Amino acid sequence: MAKIGIIGAMELEVETLKNRLEGEKITKKTGMEFHEGKLNGADVVVVRCGIGKVNAALCVQILVDIFDVTHIINTGVAGSLNAKLDIGDILISKDAVHHDMDVTPLGYKPGQVPQLDVFSFAADDEMIKLATEAVAKACPDVHSAIGRVVSGDQFISDKAVKDKLINTFAGDCAEMEGASIAHGAYLNNVPFVILRAISDKADDSAQMDYPSFEKKAAENCAKLVEEFVSLL
Ligand code: ADE
Protein backbone atom coordinates (compact mmCIF):
# COMPACT_ATOMS: atom_id res chain seq x y z
CA MET A 1 0.00 0.00 0.00
CA ALA A 2 1.33 3.42 -0.97
CA LYS A 3 2.14 5.97 1.74
CA ILE A 4 2.67 9.39 0.22
CA GLY A 5 4.79 12.15 1.73
CA ILE A 6 3.48 15.57 0.64
CA ILE A 7 5.88 18.44 1.20
CA GLY A 8 5.16 22.16 0.85
CA ALA A 9 7.56 24.89 1.91
CA MET A 10 4.96 27.32 3.22
CA GLU A 11 1.79 27.04 5.28
CA LEU A 12 -0.26 28.37 2.39
CA GLU A 13 0.92 25.45 0.27
CA VAL A 14 -0.21 22.74 2.73
CA GLU A 15 -3.01 24.23 4.82
CA THR A 16 -5.85 23.15 2.50
CA LEU A 17 -4.50 19.59 2.43
CA LYS A 18 -4.10 19.48 6.22
CA ASN A 19 -7.69 20.68 6.66
CA ARG A 20 -8.92 17.82 4.47
CA LEU A 21 -7.09 15.06 6.40
CA GLU A 22 -9.10 12.35 8.17
CA GLY A 23 -7.85 10.56 11.29
CA GLU A 24 -5.05 13.07 11.68
CA LYS A 25 -2.04 12.31 13.89
CA ILE A 26 0.63 15.00 14.37
CA THR A 27 4.31 14.30 15.11
CA LYS A 28 6.81 17.13 15.67
CA LYS A 29 10.42 16.83 14.64
CA THR A 30 13.18 19.26 13.59
CA GLY A 31 10.75 22.15 13.98
CA MET A 32 8.36 20.55 11.47
CA GLU A 33 4.87 19.12 12.05
CA PHE A 34 4.16 15.85 10.25
CA HIS A 35 0.40 15.36 9.73
CA GLU A 36 -0.45 11.71 9.07
CA GLY A 37 -3.90 10.67 7.93
CA LYS A 38 -6.13 9.81 4.98
CA LEU A 39 -6.53 12.25 2.11
CA ASN A 40 -9.16 11.31 -0.46
CA GLY A 41 -8.76 7.64 0.61
CA ALA A 42 -4.93 7.60 0.41
CA ASP A 43 -2.43 7.26 3.28
CA VAL A 44 -0.45 10.48 3.40
CA VAL A 45 1.90 12.52 5.56
CA VAL A 46 1.55 16.26 4.93
CA VAL A 47 4.34 18.54 6.13
CA ARG A 48 5.47 22.15 5.81
CA CYS A 49 9.24 21.89 5.56
CA GLY A 50 10.07 25.61 5.62
CA ILE A 51 11.81 27.53 2.89
CA GLY A 52 15.00 26.49 1.15
CA LYS A 53 17.03 23.46 0.24
CA VAL A 54 18.35 22.44 3.67
CA ASN A 55 14.87 22.33 5.22
CA ALA A 56 13.61 20.37 2.23
CA ALA A 57 16.37 17.75 2.37
CA LEU A 58 15.96 17.20 6.12
CA CYS A 59 12.25 16.75 5.60
CA VAL A 60 12.72 14.06 2.94
CA GLN A 61 15.02 12.05 5.17
CA ILE A 62 12.56 12.16 8.08
CA LEU A 63 9.69 11.09 5.80
CA VAL A 64 11.76 8.14 4.61
CA ASP A 65 13.32 7.05 7.91
CA ILE A 66 10.48 7.63 10.35
CA PHE A 67 7.31 7.54 8.25
CA ASP A 68 8.37 4.92 5.67
CA VAL A 69 6.84 6.83 2.78
CA THR A 70 6.77 5.02 -0.57
CA HIS A 71 6.30 8.15 -2.74
CA ILE A 72 7.05 11.86 -2.38
CA ILE A 73 5.16 14.82 -3.82
CA ASN A 74 6.48 18.37 -3.57
CA THR A 75 3.76 20.93 -4.06
CA GLY A 76 3.74 24.71 -4.03
CA VAL A 77 4.35 27.78 -6.14
CA ALA A 78 7.16 28.77 -8.49
CA GLY A 79 8.39 31.52 -10.77
CA SER A 80 7.98 30.85 -14.49
CA LEU A 81 11.06 30.62 -16.72
CA ASN A 82 9.08 29.57 -19.77
CA ALA A 83 7.16 32.12 -21.85
CA LYS A 84 4.43 29.49 -22.35
CA LEU A 85 3.86 29.18 -18.58
CA ASP A 86 1.74 32.00 -17.26
CA ILE A 87 0.66 32.90 -13.73
CA GLY A 88 -1.80 30.24 -12.50
CA ASP A 89 -0.51 27.51 -14.85
CA ILE A 90 0.90 24.26 -13.46
CA LEU A 91 4.29 22.73 -14.06
CA ILE A 92 4.74 18.97 -13.53
CA SER A 93 8.40 18.06 -13.12
CA LYS A 94 10.20 15.96 -15.70
CA ASP A 95 13.34 16.46 -13.66
CA ALA A 96 15.04 18.88 -11.26
CA VAL A 97 18.45 20.59 -11.10
CA HIS A 98 20.24 22.64 -8.40
CA HIS A 99 20.91 25.98 -10.15
CA ASP A 100 23.17 27.18 -7.32
CA MET A 101 25.54 24.18 -7.42
CA ASP A 102 28.72 25.35 -9.16
CA VAL A 103 31.84 23.19 -9.24
CA THR A 104 32.73 24.29 -12.78
CA PRO A 105 36.34 25.16 -11.78
CA LEU A 106 36.87 21.40 -11.27
CA GLY A 107 35.38 20.49 -14.64
CA TYR A 108 31.76 19.75 -13.66
CA LYS A 109 28.76 21.13 -15.58
CA PRO A 110 26.92 24.04 -13.93
CA GLY A 111 24.35 22.48 -11.59
CA GLN A 112 26.06 19.10 -11.43
CA VAL A 113 26.61 17.56 -8.00
CA PRO A 114 30.16 16.16 -7.99
CA GLN A 115 30.56 12.40 -7.75
CA LEU A 116 26.92 11.56 -8.43
CA ASP A 117 26.12 9.46 -11.46
CA VAL A 118 23.27 11.73 -12.62
CA PHE A 119 23.18 15.39 -13.69
CA SER A 120 19.47 15.98 -13.09
CA PHE A 121 17.08 14.10 -10.82
CA ALA A 122 14.36 12.47 -12.92
CA ALA A 123 10.79 12.38 -11.62
CA ASP A 124 8.94 9.06 -11.68
CA ASP A 125 7.28 8.39 -15.06
CA GLU A 126 4.13 6.87 -13.57
CA MET A 127 3.71 9.80 -11.16
CA ILE A 128 4.14 12.26 -14.06
CA LYS A 129 1.43 10.42 -16.01
CA LEU A 130 -0.98 10.34 -13.08
CA ALA A 131 -0.29 14.00 -12.27
CA THR A 132 -1.21 14.91 -15.85
CA GLU A 133 -4.49 13.00 -15.48
CA ALA A 134 -5.13 14.64 -12.10
CA VAL A 135 -4.74 18.17 -13.55
CA ALA A 136 -7.20 17.36 -16.30
CA LYS A 137 -9.73 16.11 -13.72
CA ALA A 138 -9.21 18.56 -10.83
CA CYS A 139 -8.41 21.77 -12.72
CA PRO A 140 -9.69 21.28 -16.29
CA ASP A 141 -9.39 24.99 -17.09
CA VAL A 142 -5.78 25.25 -15.97
CA HIS A 143 -2.98 24.97 -18.52
CA SER A 144 -0.21 22.55 -17.49
CA ALA A 145 3.13 21.44 -18.88
CA ILE A 146 5.84 18.92 -18.08
CA GLY A 147 9.29 20.41 -17.64
CA ARG A 148 12.42 21.12 -15.64
CA VAL A 149 12.39 22.58 -12.14
CA VAL A 150 15.51 24.50 -11.15
CA SER A 151 16.09 25.23 -7.47
CA GLY A 152 18.40 27.39 -5.40
CA ASP A 153 18.41 29.30 -2.14
CA GLN A 154 17.35 32.50 -3.93
CA PHE A 155 14.09 34.24 -4.84
CA ILE A 156 14.50 35.05 -8.54
CA SER A 157 13.31 38.56 -9.38
CA ASP A 158 15.83 39.84 -11.89
CA LYS A 159 15.59 39.41 -15.66
CA ALA A 160 19.33 38.79 -16.09
CA VAL A 161 19.31 35.99 -13.47
CA LYS A 162 16.18 34.54 -15.03
CA ASP A 163 17.83 34.50 -18.46
CA LYS A 164 20.84 32.70 -17.00
CA LEU A 165 18.60 29.99 -15.53
CA ILE A 166 16.97 29.55 -18.92
CA ASN A 167 20.18 29.58 -20.95
CA THR A 168 22.38 27.56 -18.60
CA PHE A 169 19.91 25.05 -17.16
CA ALA A 170 16.96 25.03 -19.60
CA GLY A 171 14.70 25.55 -16.59
CA ASP A 172 10.93 25.90 -16.95
CA CYS A 173 10.30 27.15 -13.42
CA ALA A 174 12.40 28.35 -10.48
CA GLU A 175 11.76 27.69 -6.81
CA MET A 176 13.72 26.93 -3.67
CA GLU A 177 13.18 23.29 -2.64
CA GLY A 178 12.35 20.95 -5.53
CA ALA A 179 15.86 19.83 -6.54
CA SER A 180 16.72 19.13 -2.92
CA ILE A 181 13.63 16.99 -2.50
CA ALA A 182 14.41 15.26 -5.79
CA HIS A 183 18.03 14.73 -4.73
CA GLY A 184 16.96 13.22 -1.39
CA ALA A 185 14.37 11.02 -3.07
CA TYR A 186 16.99 9.84 -5.56
CA LEU A 187 19.49 8.91 -2.82
CA ASN A 188 16.76 6.99 -0.97
CA ASN A 189 15.41 5.38 -4.13
CA VAL A 190 11.91 6.77 -3.55
CA PRO A 191 9.81 7.88 -6.55
CA PHE A 192 8.86 11.57 -6.58
CA VAL A 193 7.20 14.30 -8.57
CA ILE A 194 7.16 18.09 -8.13
CA LEU A 195 3.88 19.94 -8.84
CA ARG A 196 4.18 23.72 -8.92
CA ALA A 197 1.66 26.42 -9.76
CA ILE A 198 3.13 29.59 -11.27
CA SER A 199 2.86 32.61 -8.96
CA ASP A 200 5.13 35.06 -10.84
CA LYS A 201 7.44 35.40 -13.84
CA ALA A 202 10.74 35.36 -11.88
CA ASP A 203 11.69 38.78 -13.30
CA ASP A 204 11.43 42.41 -12.25
CA SER A 205 7.66 42.04 -11.78
CA ALA A 206 8.02 39.05 -9.41
CA GLN A 207 8.07 41.08 -6.18
CA MET A 208 4.73 42.64 -7.17
CA ASP A 209 3.07 39.55 -8.62
CA TYR A 210 4.10 36.97 -6.05
CA PRO A 211 2.04 38.32 -3.10
CA SER A 212 -1.00 38.86 -5.36
CA PHE A 213 -1.02 35.43 -6.95
CA GLU A 214 0.54 32.99 -4.48
CA LYS A 215 -2.81 32.18 -2.81
CA LYS A 216 -4.65 31.31 -6.03
CA ALA A 217 -1.65 29.36 -7.31
CA ALA A 218 -1.36 27.38 -4.07
CA GLU A 219 -5.11 26.59 -4.16
CA ASN A 220 -4.79 25.15 -7.68
CA CYS A 221 -1.95 22.94 -6.52
CA ALA A 222 -3.85 21.70 -3.47
CA LYS A 223 -6.81 20.67 -5.63
CA LEU A 224 -4.47 18.84 -7.97
CA VAL A 225 -2.65 17.00 -5.14
CA GLU A 226 -5.92 15.88 -3.56
CA GLU A 227 -7.01 14.33 -6.85
CA PHE A 228 -3.58 12.91 -7.55
CA VAL A 229 -3.17 10.90 -4.31
CA SER A 230 -6.38 8.98 -5.02
CA LEU A 231 -4.91 7.81 -8.36
CA LEU A 232 -1.63 6.47 -6.97
N1 ADE B 1 8.77 30.66 -5.66
C2 ADE B 1 7.80 31.37 -6.28
N3 ADE B 1 8.33 32.31 -7.09
C4 ADE B 1 9.68 32.19 -6.99
C5 ADE B 1 10.77 32.87 -7.56
N6 ADE B 1 10.57 33.89 -8.40
N7 ADE B 1 12.02 32.50 -7.22
C8 ADE B 1 12.21 31.48 -6.35
N9 ADE B 1 11.22 30.80 -5.77
C10 ADE B 1 9.95 31.14 -6.08
Q: What is the pLDDT of residues 205-232, one digit of tens each?
A: 888 887 888 888 888 889 899 999 999 9
Query: Greater confidence, 221 or 93?
Result: 93
Q: In this predicted model, what pLDDT tens digit does every residue of 44-85 receive, in sequence order?
A: 999 999 999 999 999 999 999 999 999 999 999 999 999 999
pLDDT of the residue at 40: 95
Going from the Cα of 163 to the center of ligand 1, the distance in angstroms, rounded, reads: 14
* Cβ neighbours, 10 Å, residue 45: 24
Q: Calculate mean pLDDT across residues 191-213.
A: 90
pLDDT of the residue at 122: 98
User: Would you identify the CATH topology of the domain 3-231?
Assistant: Rossmann fold (3.40.50)
Nearest CA to ligand 1 atom 9: 175
Atom of ligand 1 minimally distant from the CA of 201: 6
Nearest CA to ligand 1 atom 10: 175
DSSP H/E element including 216: helix 206-231
Give me the amino acid identity at 172: D
Are 177 and 185 in contact, with CB atoms under 8 Å apart? no
Vertex 35 angle, CA 221 and 23, to 5°: 105
Q: Pick from 74, 82, 154, 155 the residue to mutate for probing ligand 1's pocket: most ligand atoms within 8 Å of its CB.
A: 155
Confidence band of 26 (pLDDT split at 50, 70, 90) = very high
Residue 200 appears among annotated catalytic residues: yes
Domain range summary for the chain, segments of one domain joined by +? 3-231
pLDDT of the residue at 219: 85
- Spell out a b/e string for 56-88, using b for 16 or more CB atoms within 10 Å of the CB, else e: bbbbbebbbeebebebbbbbbbbbbbbeebebb
Atom of ligand 1 minimally distant from the CA of 175: 9
What is the average pLDDT value for the chain, to the nearest integer? Answer: 96
Are 182 and 94 in contact, with CB atoms under 8 Å apart? no
Q: For the whole model, what pTM was predicted?
A: 0.96
